Amino acid sequence: MQADYVIVGAGSAGCAVAYRLSEAGKSVIVIEYGGTDAGPFIQMPGALSYPMNMKRYDWGFESDPEPHLGGRKLVTPRGKVLGGSSSINGMVYVRGHARDFDTWEEMGAQGWAYADVLPYYKRMENWDDGGHGGDPSWRGSDGPLHVSRGKRENPLVKAFVEAGVQAGYEHTDDYNGEKQEGFGPYDATIHKGERWSAYKAYLKPAIDAGKVTLVRGFARKVVIENGRATGVEIERKGKTDVISAGVEVIVSASSINSPKLLMLSGIGPAGHLKEHGIEVLVDRPGVGKNLQDHLELYIQQAASKPVSLFKYWNLFGKALVGAQWLFTRKGLGASNQFESAAFIRSDAGVDYPDIQFHFLPIAVRYDGQAAAEGHGFQAHVGPMRSKSRGAVTLKSADPKEAPRIVFNYMSHEDDWRDFRTCIRLTREIFNQEAFAPYRAHEIQPGEDVVSDETLDDFIREHAESAYHPTGTCRMGAKDDPMAVVDPECRVIGVEALRVVDSSIFPQITNGNLNAPSIMTGEKAADHILGKAPLARENATPWIAPNWKTAQR
């Protein structure tokens, strides 16, 4: 089998690349190991806690024991299904802050400043504000990716935004527009009550039009001949095949699998590859390094009235919600329930938000286990720009063996200070007048947990990944020894090979990573096609005028 372009991974970025290359008349083969996204657990937004805990849809990765979190192993879900992680994620849509991308450029990712990426966000979006305001001139209206807002009918969802404003923070109509900082409504990749994954937005239309071929198989390595990528070795039905690429191979296999595949192909830190008996074709010490993620805590309050979603947290309630969704695509099942957002700054002197909140009108864990307390509400909160860095490395030269993942969470002392700040600021928001009609006692951490020491113990035991791994094939200048790809996503030192996914981010962006991952696919497609990039847009984002002297 042969095509102009062979893409490894039908995830957020890979789907977008496939669509744009095929639209330009190129022949494209996409290799995906995972299966179909059909079924209510993926398609129903309200069921989001199920697919990421199902072997059928998830690679099942976990970290090594994390030394600064008491030796806990943290699960690292990655989508093993058409659509990749966009088919198992929480559907929260966050572009990232303008300053994130300007920082990328400062770090050597020339041409990836906010002015460069904004036109690609607009190209990919089909945004529906749901009557909640926002300036459409900052958003896209006819792209393949549907982005919408929930109905925001639960009184707790509104109370969270009101409480933020009462505490002295900004209100924002659209954190994905001019002004990220503040409290306001969340955007989600949901369309007509269903999850709108990258597969549905991009790959399915391209396959249906006969322009892209999907090959189901397990990618073992990139085939490199005389310094040039010529194809991908895959295993399917017990046999090994090579899918040949006439022009280029594009690796879009995730921040975990992309560095693994490069290393198995002989591209990575020479010493590490030699340890595993892999022939070193290109010594790139940055492959697998620079691993970053967002950690978060769930700050939970008991509710004094039965206003939370807990009344549906039983067999009968879930059946009712499920039935309504199945027959009408409406009701609670049509929302991911993340309907109120906030991005704030942790301190004076921080120029743009470094804390994110996801508010939920129920006290529940990501794995779907509800708090024993009954009715309640919670905020997921965590710092955006941890200084801790980890790595993805090989356990062996066997492609079937999962890589070793060490995030090295909380290894920088600033992380502890930042997390304590997150807890204290969340408590202050929950103590505002807007929550007075609904507020009972604090479930977690608990009202007696106030000293630095007891807060640190809570963080060590309860911090959870937000599932945003990134940075393991970092983009940078060609002469940067730790860069893996150049600003056109080309692997440095190999011809006809690119990496296009969240692994190329030099630094993690504010918020959830699905939107910037898809944008990366959109922008990379123009680089691959040799097209002039979309014209830069010098829109100026809102920065708090008093940021030097005030936290809010």
- The secondary structure of 427-467, three-state, reads HHHHCCHHHCCCEEEEEECCCCCCCHHHHHHHHHHHCEECC
- Residue 503's nearest CA partner among 479, 534, 531, 468 is 468
Residue 81: how many CA atoms within 13 Å on its side-chain side? Answer: 28
Q: How far apart are CA 286 and CA 108, in angstroms?
A: 14
Using alpha carbons only, give the angle 214, 525, 225 rounded to the nearest 5 degrees: 70
Q: How far apart are CA 112 and CA 521, in angstroms?
A: 13
3-state SS, residue 292: strand
3-state SS, residue 478: coil
Q: How far apart are CA 517 and CA 514, in angstroms?
A: 5
68 annotated active-site: no
Residues 6+ away with beta carbon under 8 Å from 462: 297, 298, 444, 445
Residues pairing with 195 in the sheet: 190
- Give the Cβ contact number of residue 372 at 10 Å: 7
- Give the Cβ contact number of residue 31 at 10 Å: 25
Tokens 């941890």 -> residue = 386
Phi/psi at 77 (nearest 5 deg)?
A: -65, 135
Pairing state of beta strands 282-283 and 295-303?
unpaired
Using alpha carbons only, give the angle 339, 96, 393 rounded to the nearest 5 degrees: 110
- The alpha-carbon radius of gyration of the chain (Å, integer) is 22
Q: How far is CA 240 from CA 34, 235, 257, in A?
A: 17, 4, 19
3-state SS, residue 128: coil
DSSP assignment letter at 291: B
* Active-site entry in 171, 191, 468, 527: 468
Q: How far is CA 88 from CA 198, 467, 511, in A?
A: 11, 11, 17
**What is the chain's length?**
552
Residues pairing with 35 in the sheet: 81
Buried b (16+ CB within 10 A) or exposed e, 253-275: bbbbbbbbbbbbbbbbbeebbee
Q: How far apart are CA 485 and CA 504, in angstroms?
A: 7
Furthest-apart CA pair in the chain: how many Å? 70
143: amino acid identity, one letter: G
Active site members:
468
